Structure 1
Amino acid sequence: MSLIEALNWRYATKKMNGTAVPQDKVDQIISAAHLAPTSSGLQPFRIFVITDPELKEKIKSVAYGQQQITDASHVLVFAAWDGYTEDRVRGVFSHTNAERGVPDSATEAYLNGLLGKFSEMTPEDHFHHAAKQAYIGFGVAIAEAALLKVDATPMEGFEAAKVDELLGLKDLGLRSTTILPLGYRDDAEDWLVNLKKVRTPLQDFVTELN
């Protein structure tokens, strides 16, 4: 199945049937997000994989009662860094340099320029920038799930501060951005499953400048 075919197959599943997603497929979805591109390769987000029924119930209670969270096999919470500290950024570059077998001096000029840019930004700007990177990984995870024929429901509808509290994210320097329940659609109970996928007409979506 091509990616286009997979994206035509997928939809924001409204009712899942409770069937467990095989762990190897969950691992592939997470690996896809892990390999997603990010600005300067910083990967300023983390993924929390939740299977505990009690914790899923608590998350549902601060996510406007969205049933997919408790019906899902696995719930992925994407959480972005709350700021670009020098230690965090240097840590990423040092790890990359070590893996590539190059000295830190090879990237020092670029790193200092990047730190200079971050120093001009507010803490909230830092979070918004990091959240954008998390969204890239989030989108890649959704695409990989579709290729594996695993249903997923992208969610922004939740009280982020309360999810942060439930997962202890503040102490980790993280803030929740999105939630992705994974499971399998309930064909008999999902009102959306048989409705036509509709998007903006392509001619209105794309502008070609030649």
Structure 2
Amino acid sequence: MNVIEHLKWRYATKKFDANKHLSPQKVQIIKEAFNLTATSFGLQTISMLVVADKDIRKNLIEHSYGQRQVLEASHLLVLCIQDNITDTDVDDLFDNIQDKRHTSNTILDPYRDDLKRMMQQMSVQERQEWSTKQAYIALGNLMTVCAIEQIDACPMEGFFATKYDDIFQLKDKGLKSVLVMPIGYRAEDDMFADFKKVRKTIAESTIEL
């Protein structure tokens, strides 16, 4: 299949085959795709939990509006943001650039200082909102990668983030959950798999100038 055919194949999977599991190689592709997601300035203020443990996921159903995908899927991805962005985060980014590219600090320092000032001018809430936008970029990227790899997925905003944070002790890690996505393989009797896609026409959704 070409990319468009893969995207037509994907849908928000409502029922997973609980007996089918992703191979370690597939899980590694998902992790690498997440890490390669474009983020603003390359400042990766997002993290991803990859949850295979069924006992943990069973406890998440009641905090996910009863959506059993969180349990029945092969794995559950939980996209998180940092609860704050500090000068240290900016320094870590530019130190990593210097280490990987051997770029002179004379060149990097003005950009380092500008990014620090930008973050300092934001409130904590604004920084979190900024990071949440990065999480949505990652979610979109993962959905496309899953489609290409023929991994079924169900992006979800419908969950109680504070409960997830408590269960995974995210506060201790300086993180907050913002999105979840069960991934695995669709059940044969998931009727939603055969539904026709409902979209605007390309002429309606795009504008050429």
TM-score range, shorter chain: over 0.9
Query: Helix, strand or coil for the counterpart of 1:192?
Result: helix
Following superposition of structure 1 onto structure 2, how do residues 96-135 of structure 1 map, counting pairs within 5 Å?
96-135=97-136
Identity of aligned residues (%): 35
Following superposition of structure 1 onto structure 2, how do residues 99-178 of structure 1 map, counting pairs within 5 Å?
99-178=100-179
Say whether residues 1:66 and 2:61 are aligned partners: no
Residue in 2 that maps onto 1:20: 21
Whole-angstrom distance in 1 between the partners of 2:45 and 2:2: 29
Aligned pair count reads 208
Calculate the aligned-residue CA RMSD, in Å.
1.2
Q: Is the 8 A contact 1:75 1:181 kept in 2?
A: yes
Say whether residues 1:205 and 2:194 are aligned partners: no
Give runs of ≥4 in structure 1 deviating > 4 Å: none
Deviation at 1:65, TM superposition (A): 1.2
Normalised by the length of structure 2, the TM-score is 0.95
Whole-angstrom distance in 1 between the partners of 2:154 and 2:184: 9
Whole-angstrom distance in 2 between the partners of 1:17 and 1:162: 26
Whole-angstrom distance in 1 between the partners of 2:198 and 2:27: 28
Residue in 1 that maps onto 2:40: 39
Whole-angstrom distance in 2 between the partners of 1:200 and 1:111: 43
Question: Any gaps of 5 or more consecutive residues in structure 1?
Answer: none
Deviation at 1:78, TM superposition (A): 0.6
Say whether residues 1:8 and 2:8 are aligned partners: yes
Deviation string, structure 1 residues 183-203 (Cα, Å, up to 9, x no partner): 111122x13111101112222
Normalised by the length of structure 1, the TM-score is 0.95
Q: Is the 8 A contact 1:20 1:183 kept in 2?
A: yes
Q: Is the 8 A contact 1:78 1:178 kept in 2?
A: yes
Deviation at 1:148, TM superposition (A): 0.9
Query: Helix, strand or coil for the counterpart of 2:200?
Result: coil
Whole-angstrom distance in 1 between the partners of 2:112 and 2:4: 37
